[in-house]
A and B are shown apart, each in its own frame.
Chain A
């Protein structure tokens, strides 16, 4: 004989100010098999949980309904509580009378109260048809995959490797290093970016637990937390990784030139190349699209000069399949393409540069060997205008968000300009100065006071060429007037935007992304490195613009989360998965076809004595309980535990019957 206890939460005023809770309690008492209904201010609190436990004892309850918030908030809390009261945690149902009732019906209290009663009634109807379920366990493969070899991926891998976990970095480019390796100096301490990055790159290469796949991409991800199967495409680099000594003769001798991506198209590279001198691994790749041999069938200069016979022209892509228990996504960012700003004339004007182009120009390994020169005539510039918020905080370009780093980035670049050319003048157009980090405000102050950088609060409306100069038209909203500057160079602080193929990556991994295409965290405040897909974590700017300190901190956090996961040998899997009724299954294989997780296999089974048939079988550790197979089954032979047809029908009846 079922005895149901109903507990209705006020959630402070969240529910009680809209829903008449005593009325709901009164109504719940009239429902079939309800032994007791109680109200409490915060049901999730310790006293609230104790109230449930005491009531279970007092009224000999065997099924519990809590009407409160979303199951996403506290389902687990109450399941554990119910379990403590010696009731199977699946003899518990939750009615969401907050997010789906009181919050959305604040203007109509009567209707909200009625709805809260109905939602409670539905939960009671279902709990009466629930059955005890017991968790399943699945082993954890203690290997981590880190996608992206920028500073985020490097830091996460180092932390994981140091913790003793086998880790694989998959990096799309031919070297790890990412965006940070393109920068000259870093704010707010002005230490050389490459100098602080390369020790970490070397440490990754030397760590016994870390394996690096460069020039490789993740192609397919299957499985679930603790047990992912990942296909990785190792693109042909046409150079033998083992034989190559990194002597660089091939690059020296290669006759084919093309513009360098690493230098943001401001300089040249060869067709066989390493992107920068500190590359890890220091093994070049052949860029097939620009290699004379691949284009015309003749040349082979690199092969001729290679002292170690490392060139392999007929190398092919290789796809490897590996198993991982967790994945850290650290795919990084692109830089906003400011050709959308016709008013800034990009593409038309040689002397308008992107922030990264300027960064390469200042870098001693860059195309001008660290000399700041006006691209049009290679003369030293006198007046340089920096514009912040390009592709950021600009709804007219569909880019509403703050790019977060460019206030500091621009201040740093202005300081670098003044360090290189003390007689130059630097102007910065800004909307606000957001110098929020440790030592940041002091850094901006130094730019203003010590380096005499002119800060102008306002946007630039137009840039056009006038003779050798660029005329910059803008406003100074503090002085309340228009500003015209004849500049030699203009540097645009282009915003961080998601990687061009972030959507494809998100779909491969099965993680959500936001309107700008950044990956979405499980919770923006309380779960910043987790995703809704358990076992997949985020690090760095792939989830939104971040500077280096934040990226490194987040990478460490993601690694810690992976370590926590790897601290268990088995993880609990929800038992709410599909189940086949063997006597009804006709073996049509429809379910197998629709299952998004490949969790159904066909198996020969004896259904009656002497009668064998191929019927569907659910692989329990793979099934995620989505219910797609249940809906597709012609014979009604599949049911979802915890959401069986009879349970859903009971809920519907409760909805329909007044």
Chain B
């Protein structure tokens, strides 16, 4: 199974471990990822808040190559996924926009590329049964709160998953890996996303709500599928604890890291040492490393 891979800015910088673990897991599952050559920004918040045409033209620029190569696209970041798929939909539905975008790009973009979020590629295209077969070490005893954030299941027009407000697919993955899935209320609440840079206080409040609920529901750790979610929950956790005078110490994993771990990958290779909240104590207490 071959995909055009769109890592986006985070996976080449703050979320290198997501990139590394993605490549490891996809390699094991027989998914070939070909990185889109000369990819550019996906058109994320700073752009779609300021320039409507550029916010469609930028993702379309990235999709042109996939269109030529006739490949489906896999995007590991929720924001990238949302922008790419939205651009695709809008261009397909709006002839005038298609004309304008094509004029900007100097090439006609048709809006007919298949775009998948990475969990979709792994859970839907490969299937949980295949993943279970590859599990070498069950993550027994680990209580995982699956965090979907905002853009993984929304807006429904773009994401087209069932159960928008109470998604289950990451929870099902958790069970396949032999871990326990935590039933909690904040799985689709907003983490504050890019406000992390412009309005940090807001992010600290939202992140605290999420961490608090996971903690109350007795989660050992949180699993995410988006680099922005990760940076807010992991990078800001110490600050949250300080501000709200609480102690959570909840490691935050990418779902690919946990799949990798269950497949027996080395924790250094999965980039587990790059996290701010150390996972080693938890993992060794459960006998997983």
Contact = CB atoms under 8 A, between A and B. Distances in A.
Interface in A301-360: 341-343, 348
A462 B165 CA distance: 8
B47 interface: no
20 contacts: A341-B165, A342-B163, A342-B165, A342-B166, A343-B165, A343-B166, A348-B183, A396-B156, A396-B164, A461-B165, A462-B165, A462-B185, A462-B186, A462-B189, A463-B185, A464-B184, A464-B185, A464-B213, A466-B216, A471-B185
Contacts of A341: 165
Contacts of B213: 464
Nearest to A463: B185
Interface of B is mostly: loop
Nearest to B164: A396
Contacts of B216: 466
Interface in B179-198: 183-186, 189
Interface in B134-148: none
A396 B159 CA distance: 12
A396 B165 CA distance: 10
B47 to A, nearest CB: 27
A310 B185 CA distance: 54
A341 B216 CA distance: 23
Interface string B205-229: 0000000010010000000000000
Contacts of A463: 185
A642 B266 CA distance: 84
Contacts of A462: 165, 185-186, 189
Contacts of B183: 348
Contacts of B156: 396
Interface string B155-188: 0100000011110000000000000000111100
Nearest to A467: B216
A488 to B, nearest CB: 17
A466 B163 CA distance: 22
Contacts of A464: 184-185, 213
A464 B163 CA distance: 16
Interface in B118-159: 156
Contacts of B184: 464
Nearest to A464: B185
8 nearest A-B residue pairs (beta carbon): A342-B166, A464-B185, A343-B165, A342-B163, A396-B156, A342-B165, A462-B185, A343-B166
Nearest to B217: A464
A535 to B, nearest CB: 43
The contact size tier of chain A is 10 to 19
Interface residues of B, number: 12
Interface of B: 156, 163-166, 183-186, 189, 213, 216
Nearest to A461: B165
B108 to A, nearest CB: 27
Contacts of B163: 342
A216 B216 CA distance: 53
A343 B216 CA distance: 18
A139 B164 CA distance: 57
B217 to A, nearest CB: 9
A219 B9 CA distance: 64
Contacts of B164: 396
A73 B217 CA distance: 64
Nearest to B165: A343
B186 to A, nearest CB: 8
Interface string A430-464: 00000000000000000000000000000001111
Contacts of B186: 462
Listed residue (B165, B184, B189) with the most chain A CB atoms within 10 angstroms of its CB = B165
Contacts of A396: 156, 164
Nearest to B216: A466
B29 to A, nearest CB: 29
Contacts of A343: 165-166
Contacts of A466: 216
Contacts of A461: 165
A342 B185 CA distance: 10
A462 B209 CA distance: 13
Contacts of A471: 185
A225 B78 CA distance: 60
A489 B164 CA distance: 24
A595 B207 CA distance: 68
Interface in A458-492: 461-464, 466, 471
A370 B216 CA distance: 36
Contacts of B185: 462-464, 471
Interface in A485-516: none
A318 B53 CA distance: 70
A228 to B, nearest CB: 43
Nearest to B167: A342
A396 B158 CA distance: 12
Given A348-B183, A462-B185, A466-B216, 15 more contacts: A341-B165, A342-B163, A342-B165, A342-B166, A343-B165, A396-B156, A396-B164, A461-B165, A462-B165, A462-B186, A463-B185, A464-B184, A464-B185, A464-B213, A471-B185
A17 to B, nearest CB: 28
A464 B186 CA distance: 9
B254 to A, nearest CB: 24
A391 B26 CA distance: 40
Nearest to A340: B163
Nearest to A342: B166
A464 B216 CA distance: 12
B40 to A, nearest CB: 32
B169 to A, nearest CB: 13
A461 B187 CA distance: 12
A466 B186 CA distance: 13
A473 B152 CA distance: 21
A343 B184 CA distance: 10
A464 B166 CA distance: 12
Interface string A394-424: 0010000000000000000000000000000
Contacts of A342: 163, 165-166
Interface in A163-198: none
B66 to A, nearest CB: 29
A471 B186 CA distance: 12
B179 to A, nearest CB: 21
B259 to A, nearest CB: 25
A494 to B, nearest CB: 16
Nearest to B184: A464
Nearest to A343: B165
Interface string A71-96: 00000000000000000000000000
B64 to A, nearest CB: 32
A394 to B, nearest CB: 11
Interface string A35-46: 000000000000
Listed residue (B163, B164, B166, B189) with the most chain A CB atoms within 10 angstroms of its CB = B166
A396 B184 CA distance: 22
A113 B85 CA distance: 44
Nearest to B166: A342
A343 B166 CA distance: 6
Nearest to B213: A464
A340 to B, nearest CB: 8
A396 B153 CA distance: 12
Nearest to A466: B216
A490 to B, nearest CB: 13
A343 B165 CA distance: 6
A396 B216 CA distance: 30
Nearest to B156: A396
